[in-house]
Amino acid sequence: MSQMNRRRALQLLAALGTTGFVAGCGSDSDAEPTANRSPVKIGLITPQAGGFKSIGDDITNGFQLFLDLHDQRLGGHPVELLTADEGDTAKTGKAAVDGLLKQGVLALTGVVNSAVMVGIRDTVEQARVPLIGSNASPSSLQSVFYIWRTSYVLDEAGRALGRYLRDQLPANGRVAIIVPENVGSPDVVRGFRQEFGANDPRIADPVTYTSATPNPGKTTFASDITKALAKRPTAVFCFFAGAAAIEFIKQLREKFAGPIYAPGFLTEGTVLDNLKDNALGIQTALNYSADLNNTSNRVFASAYRKKYQVTPTTYAMASYDAAQVLDQAIQLAGGEPTPQQVNLALGKIGQIDSPRGIWQFNQPRTPQQKWYLREVQRDGQVMSNVLINELATLG
């Protein structure tokens, strides 16, 4: 980290009343910001309404926190952060991208919905402007040159839990799989089966698919849950996020008191506040936990809590890292960076010192990273995703 960045981080953390090791912010390769470097525009794409809005807010907050710790600069350039609403369809996502491209952005970031990510792929590739996605990451997004992701590939969450449950579930156990009928679910299910054993008799076939609405009602999932529970499972594996996660768990808990396993999105962010005791004991796999004990996370999580008064999520962390890799790539691209130069530089930045732990981009432009097992436990008056152990390194 440069001395200027170190001083700025210390100033901000002091203003927030935060203590920590500021060495975790930024990169050892940071050069001194150049005072006369021209401003750059970065386009941030997130849902600004609906069931995924809370995830979009976390992504915005994570990116903004990195800017706060770095004098509102990336690679020494003052940043103008332009925002656009991705909506909830490929069409609205494309409109958001088109609008940002017309404003001359150097790079794009964000994107929550996998359907939106798939829908904007060709637009981004043809524009030759790098997109550093900080959430949506379907495995079908192959052979891309300008799309990078600081989050995960969806099948990895299924793989991490499949490997764990294969050994944990008793010989007479039975797991029902319940997922929404959307772009990401086949990835998660395939990854889970791959590691658990596709022909293992403990998996209750077939998979139960539910509505994929991001804003479900109080009975949206009831009939599908009844159908899945007719197989008399001893455990449930599911895949939901945001408002859908809240309603699904509430409706499931009315009929099922057994163990629940899921990718960590099920219990991230505001979901826990809404579920309260219904979330107790749920075990999830995720690439991040706010109580990871490393220098970068101590700085990030402490500053995030002080600024936003909430615990950071994987969405916020991945967006913070999106800003971090852009910072390094723009620095490498020089004084007058172009989108194409930044994109080439992204492939040269090497390891990232992240709140999740050290990671780096693999050939498909996604992270090679650790996955962790977490369990919802009571922490005083609130629920918390408590780190249990490391599950695997995937990517």
Coil/strand/helix, residue 278? helix
Strand (E) or helix (H) holding 91: helix 90-102
pLDDT per position as a tens digit, 41-87 = 999 999 999 988 999 999 999 999 999 999 999 999 999 999 999 99
Distance of CA 368 to the CA centre of its chain: 14
Q: What is the pLDDT of residue 261?
A: 98
pTM: predicted TM-score of the whole model, two decimal places: 0.85
Q: DSSP letter at 279?
A: G
Neighbouring residues of 53: CB distance < 8 A, sequence distance ≥ 6: 47
Average pLDDT value over all residues in the chain: 90
What is d(CA 42, CA 47) in angstroms, rounded to the nearest whole number? 17
Structure tokens at 314: 């994987």
What size, in residues, is the chain? 395
Q: What is the pLDDT of residue 142?
A: 82
Q: What is the pLDDT of residue 183?
A: 87
- Order across the sheet with 131-133: list the strands: 73-74, 77-85, 40-46, 107-110, 131-133, 147-149
What is d(CA 141, CA 164) in angstroms, rounded to the nearest whole number? 26
The DSSP line for 14-55 is: HHHT--S-GGGSS-TTPPPPPTTPPPEEEEEEE--SSTTHHH
CA dihedral 267, 185, 346, 338 (to 10 degrees): -110
pLDDT per position as a tens digit, 245-266 = 999 999 999 999 999 999 999 9
CA dihedral 237, 239, 64, 306 (to 10 degrees): -40
What is d(CA 17, CA 166) in angstroms, rounded to the nearest whole number? 45
**Overall average pLDDT of the 113-136 stretch:** 95
Q: What is the pLDDT of residue 273?
A: 86
> Nearest CA to 181 among 157, 152, 216, 146?
216
What is d(CA 337, CA 382) in angstroms, rounded to the nearest whole number? 46
What is d(CA 141, CA 160) in angstroms, rounded to the nearest whole number? 20
pLDDT per position as a tens digit, 197-236 = 989 999 998 999 999 998 899 999 999 999 999 999 999 9
Burial class (CB in 10 A: 0-12, 13-18, 19+), 336: exposed
pLDDT at 155 over 50: yes
pLDDT per position as a tens digit, 277-329 = 999 999 999 999 999 999 999 999 999 999 999 999 999 999 999 999 999 99
What is d(CA 76, CA 69) in angstroms, rounded to the nearest whole number? 13
User: Alpha carbon of 44 to those of 97, 110, 205, 298: distances in Å?
Assistant: 9, 6, 40, 26
What is d(CA 109, CA 84) in angstroms, rounded to the nearest whole number? 10
